[in-house]
Structure 1
Amino acid sequence: MLALFNEEQQMFESTAKRLAESIGITNPHDLNTNDRAHGWQMLTDVGLLGLRMRDNGVPLASGVEVMIAAQALGETLTPQPFISAVLAGELLALANAPDELIEELVAGETRYGLLLDRSFENLAAPDDADCIAWDTDGAHYALGLIQNQVVRISLAQGFEPAREVADLTRGLLHRRANTTPAETIGEPLSAEKIKRWLALTLVTVSADIVGAITAAQAGAVAYTRERVQYGALIGSFQAIQHLCAEMLVQAQAAHSINCYAAWGVDQLDADEALLAARTAKAYAASVALPVTEAVMQVYGGIGQTWEHIAHVYTRRAMVNARLFGDETYQLQRIADARLGAQ
């Protein structure tokens, strides 16, 4: 793989960042005032929801482009459900779902969340006890799996909003009643297709982590150039410099690891692609909370307040770290793969 983005990818990254800046969150007040419908329409208009549409069986965009978009949107804490839309579209495409379902998703007309088990580690079946629909802002359905078969369930009945959520930027619904039957979509997924979907999933979630911790670190560094304490800018204090440097190293390392995994989504065989994605997710998850907590330390007392953006970064990073398995979960699966465990 190339270590750097090509010219088209650089242009796409610039476009994605401009879009993210226009629809993202800059302070906790925006959580209530953000025009989410407008932001969703913008995501639709620029084609981000259709990145993984197929042309003669080949995705229009690679895992690298999905990573670029997810990282840009993570940097601005964008609340629109980009990740669930892209991953739902990939599931539908891999299952050879009817074209009209995919077209409705790409057009932004039908929205999907993802149905997860209580641990947040796996796609769930609709009849799983206490299953959770994640990233459900404006969603009509949630997609899950029943014995490798993609199913969708309406969110109109049997679900209710979670009373307390860690991530303030994404919708979360709890399943409370089995009132709506699940609808089978497309063909059963092969083991290879499930691995490829999971590889893309881990890369996309890791990219969101990288975006969040990168932006949080950059904001903290900017603050050190403004805040004066004991008659000097706090950025001149060695302890603060070390904190910021360590955060930068961790964020850039997570990005570098994820770049290879994103390339591998389409270029490596399914087992190697999943192994690379697990490695990226393990590292990104391991630094998500330490970096965002260090950011809050740099801000000092103001960073501990509800009115400051720091805790919103921390909350998003915490949930991302758990999604589809944290570092301990991923390292165990890596060990199983390397040691040949069944």
Structure 2
Amino acid sequence: MSHVDLAFTQEQLELRRTVRDFLDKTSPETEVRRLMETPAGYDPAAWHQLAAEIGVAGLALPEEYGGAGYGFAELAIVLEEAGRALLCAPVLSTVVLAASTLLALDDDLARADYLPGIADGTTVAALALTEAGGPQDEPDALAVTAARHARGWTVSGTKPSVLDGQTASLLLVAARSGAGLSVFAVAGDAPGVRREPRATLDQTRRQADLVFEAAPARLLGEEGAAWPALRHVLDLAAVAIALEQVGGAGRVLDMAVDYARTRVQFGKPIGSFQAIKHKLADLHLAVESARSAAYYGGWAAAASPPELPLAASLAKASAGDAYVTAATENIQIHGGIGFTWEHPAHLYLKRAHSSRQLFGNPAYHRQRLAGHLLAAHD
């Protein structure tokens, strides 16, 4: 294992302060609730500010494509802050999944065509990868197919639960062709594309079922050679969600601690009761352990790709359980008020449960982690 340095530089700390200040102003609870009721699920003007003016969308993109030339370590900070604020914006879909796919595929022309739009916030992109059954460790299991015609490629089939699939102008679709698994670019408004918004438990993150009926497509990279790139993107996705999760878990832990300090029963703050003290101590340990695992995943994504598969599964398993536990206990500590629609606790609980399932639940990632560890000892 390589040397792991999880300390942040002064520049990275300043990035965190900048992003947190921006999200405190633009993503308060009232705005999150408003956006939950809108068709798009996010504010395009606020997204453009975050993406272009603060530079979040191009943070980890090379300068030649309009990015800032930083890496996943800086993006990790943004993801944690986004999770803390329950940010309603296409960060995960566009900045992590789609941009990482374009970078991982061997297609310089596609990068030049698509990445500048992502970097300046004008392109919202989505990756249509997984199908029924969750993470695809067997690429042959994908049912969406691609066919070559005289005028080019088309894709056909259904991709369920695509993050921001209902608003993305660029769809990156994983499909099987005669040579194997490939990735295709499809315009969101192309003929043969039907988008069906999906009702979800977590209203702060939009998903849609995408139906392709011989939709015109552009092959990205080499035909049949996409699986190594997509497997890498799935690992990045697991790390990204874990970072979001520890941001949210830290926020609900802070909510619980603040309430325990101020809520008085029997003439004392409830935080002085031993049962509450023990509960909060256990939560603090769980959240900080998960944060360490998520930071390790972020470090591996930035500095040590060989360790990324193991680090990604460790991070996703740890953070998924910690967030659900913290969000649940936060409601318990708040008592009756924590169960009401007016209190933000339920928003975090729903995000915790939904993100726990995205790109593999903790059981899946523990099994995968065990496989990596056994292989390392052989």
Q: What TM-score comes out, normalization by structure 2 length?
A: 0.81
Match of 1:140 in 2: 169
CA distance in 2, matches of 1:331, 1:77: 26
Match of 1:278 in 2: 313
Match of 1:69 in 2: 78
**Aligned: 1:221 with 2:257:** yes
Match of 2:122 in 1: 109
Shift of 1:291: 1.3
Q: Is the CA contact (8 Å cut-off) linking 1:54 and 1:93 kept in structure 2? A: no
CA distance in 2, matches of 1:145, 1:53: 22
Structure 1 residues 71-220: aligned runs within 5 Å: 71-87=80-96, 88-95=98-105, 96=107, 97-115=110-128, 116-122=130-136, 125=144, 127-129=156-158, 131-136=160-165, 138-146=167-175, 147-156=180-189, 157-162=193-198, 164-176=199-211, 178=213, 180-187=215-222, 192-220=228-256
Counterpart selection for 1:41 from 48, 62, 75:
48
Q: Is the CA contact (8 Å cut-off) linking 2:195 and 2:211 kept in structure 1? A: yes
The answer for unaligned runs of 5 or more in structure 1 is none
Shift of 1:305: 1.2
Change (3 A) 1:137 1:294: farther
Q: Which has the higher contact order (CA 8 A, sep 6+)?
A: 1
Change (3 A) 1:191 1:35: closer
Change (3 A) 1:141 1:274: same
The structure with the larger Rg is: 2
SS in structure 2 at match of 1:180: strand
**Aligned: 1:305 with 2:318:** no
**Aligned: 1:262 with 2:280:** no
How many residues are matched?
Answer: 339
Residue type of the alignment partner of 1:43: L
CA distance in 1, matches of 2:217, 2:61: 24
Residue type of the alignment partner of 1:86: V
CA distance in 2, matches of 1:59, 1:118: 36
Match of 1:60 in 2: 69
CA distance in 1, matches of 2:328, 2:265: 21
CA distance in 1, matches of 2:166, 2:16: 25
CA distance in 2, matches of 1:109, 1:47: 12
**More deviation, 284-293/22-31:** 22-31
Match of 1:3 in 2: 6
Shift of 1:84: 1.0
Over the matched positions of the two proteins, sequence identity in percent amounts to 28
The answer for unaligned runs of 5 or more in structure 2 is 145-154
CA distance in 1, matches of 2:254, 2:304: 33
Residue type of the alignment partner of 2:345: A
CA distance in 2, matches of 1:35, 1:193: 29
Shift of 1:195: 4.0
Match of 2:328 in 1: 293
**More deviation, 165-174/188-197:** 188-197
CA distance in 2, matches of 1:42, 1:222: 31
CA distance in 2, matches of 1:280, 1:210: 10
